[in-house]
Amino acid sequence: MGVTGSYLKLATSPLGAFCKQIVLKGAWRDGWRGWAAAGSTATATMMKHILLIERTRMEIENRSNEKSRNL
């Protein structure tokens, strides 16, 4: 099945990615470009988790459809 998505990660990971970029990597020193890069990183992280949740839901639906066909 692979990596699965969760709503908790969807809520926390983008904020964590933004803070990591701003604070730990020092993007705040780059001015508006650093803030834009941190925002872009947070957006990409959010999209990744949305796609993982969608993939997880589709796999669950496919498994339940296969089970109902086998009955």
Cα angle vertex 48, ends 43, 54, to 5°? 125
- Predicted pLDDT at 67: 79
Residue 14 predicted with pLDDT over 90: yes
Q: Are 71 and 59 in contact (CB under 8 A)?
A: no
Give the domain ranges of the chain: 7-64
Tens of pLDDT along 17-60?
A: 999 999 999 999 999 999 999 999 999 999 999 999 999 999 88
